[in-house]
Structure formats: C-alpha cells, structure tokens
Amino acid sequence: MEKIVCFGEVLWDCLPKGLFLGGAPFNAACHLRRLGCRPVMISAVGDDFLGEEALLRAQAQGLDTFAFTVKKGLRTGVAKVVLDDSGCASYVFPEPCAWDRIELGEAARNELTTANAILFGSLAARSERNAEQLDSILSETHALRIFDVNLRPPHDDLETVLELAQKADVLKVNETELAVLSGRPFDSGDLEGAIRAVVERTHVRKVCVTLGGEGAAYFDGRRLLRAEAPLVQVRDTVGAGDSFTAAFTAGLVRGDAPQETLERACRLGAYVASCDGATPEYDPAEVLG
C-alpha cells in the first residue's frame, strides 16, 4: 500500500449549512484513503472542542492521528467560506491558529523515511515555523515531492511559493496560479508556453494545471497531455480540487499511465463538485471507472 505523507492545515470550513472539517491536505488525505493508499496526515489542532472533534472525525474517515499535534493556547483552525451564485468558494483564514505551529514528532519523522510521496501546499507555509519544517522535510526526503499550490490572499507570497516550487518534483496549479507563477496573463491558447515559463522559473520537472469545467492539462517533462472534465451540475467547489489532487497523486505514485491518471483525476474532481461537502461518500470503481 502506497504511503503518502500529507503536510499542512486541518480546519473547519464555516459554510452556510454548518461546520465541515477540511483543509486542502486533509481533504486530499481522506480521498487518498478511499483510493486505497495509506495517507499520513501531519498537522495540528487546538486543545479545544473543535480540536477534539477534528481528531474524532479524522479517525472516522479512516485516518491515523498519531502525527497530529494538540497545541495548548492556540485554537483549532477555521475557514470562513463564501459561495457565489455559481457555487465557487472564497476563503478567509483567521490567524494565529494551531496549524500555524505544526510539529514533527519522532513518529512523524519515522513515517517520512518510508514515504512514497509527500504532498504539501503553500497555505501552511504562511507561518515561518511551518516553512522551516517544510524546508527540512523536503531537503531530506527521497520521496516524490508534490506541491499543490494554494494561493489564498493575503497568504500568497510569491517568493515563498517559488522557493517551495524549487524543492518539488511535481507542481499542481489552477489557471490563476499558473498566471502568477508564469508571470503572464492566462491564455488557454498558449497553455504549454505558460507551463514552460514556470518550468524555467522554478526548475520543477512536471506541472499539472486544473482548468475547472474544461478539465486539466499535464506536462510530464516531454509533452502536454489534456483531459476533459465530465459535465456535471455544480453544487459547490469546496474540496473538488483536493479530490483531483488525491487521484492524480495516487496515479503518479502507482506508476499508472499519465493520460489515464489525468482522466481519472478529472472524473473524481467533477464528481465532488457535484456533491455537498469536500469528502462525500463514493465508490472509486464507479466514479473513476
């Protein structure tokens, strides 16, 4: 079973319908578990009710919680989520909170030595402490390093993102993030040119770009692959990108054909966008084909 370490935020999404446990790395970990991988989530929660509930919910999702740190004096993270008329989400992340102070205990470090891949994002690096932890992890590991860029203003410092990208083997971005990292306006007609600009700027070898309803593209170092997204009625987009990341990561680690990996990731992302919540129940065989 493939072991994938997920480093970053665990938080509660404050939606109109209530509180839902999330955070991009956590959502991806939940989907990786359903896809038959063994995710190891490294994060932190507060010594409060929401922290206790987060640990219970994580365990209910089949995740181990031994690499979670309980931080006294810091609250469990929350995200204030606003959905527009089309179901697209925007976020506000109050700080400081527990996941700004993630610690690497002995158990977590042991897991890192045998991991097949490390999945990390940019949001958790908003704190200097986490940025230092990430730098240590990425410099020492021999695992595949997958960087899921997650630009959430005001936590979108370009210098930090570029530094992390230079330590990654695979970069995953959306159209907006591609434009920021390439330094040019997004142009669907020159997707490969923008990707090559990112490769030249960061020296990352492989880049995956999600394109919303238009599917996704993947530059594997030699060629650009494209996959369409199934047409669905969007309920909300919270977690859709994270499910895509999970399916894409699982395919990479297993050595599946890149085109098949991209198509399966698009199918899962579209399915989650058609559901309420970031981690709906599903049968992978039915959804991914």
- Domains (range + CATH), the chain: 3-278 (3.40.1190.20)
pTM metric for this prediction: 0.94
43 alpha-carbon distance from chain centroid: 13
pLDDT of residue 188: 75
Cβ-in-10-Å burial (0-12, 13-18, 19+) of 7 comes to: buried
For residues 23 and 275, what is the distance between their CA atoms, to the nearest angstrom?
17
Closest by alpha carbon to 56, among 12, 4, 5, 121?
A: 12
CA angle 50, 31, 132 (to 5 degrees): 65
Task: Tell me how far apart the alpha carbons of residues 262 and 247 are, in angstroms, rounded to a whole number.
Answer: 8
What is d(CA 41, CA 197) in angstroms, rounded to the nearest whole number?
32
What pLDDT, on the 0 to 100 scale, is given for residue 283?
A: 95
Give every residue of the chain whose pLDDT is below 70, as ranges: 87
Residue 87 is predicted with a pLDDT of 67
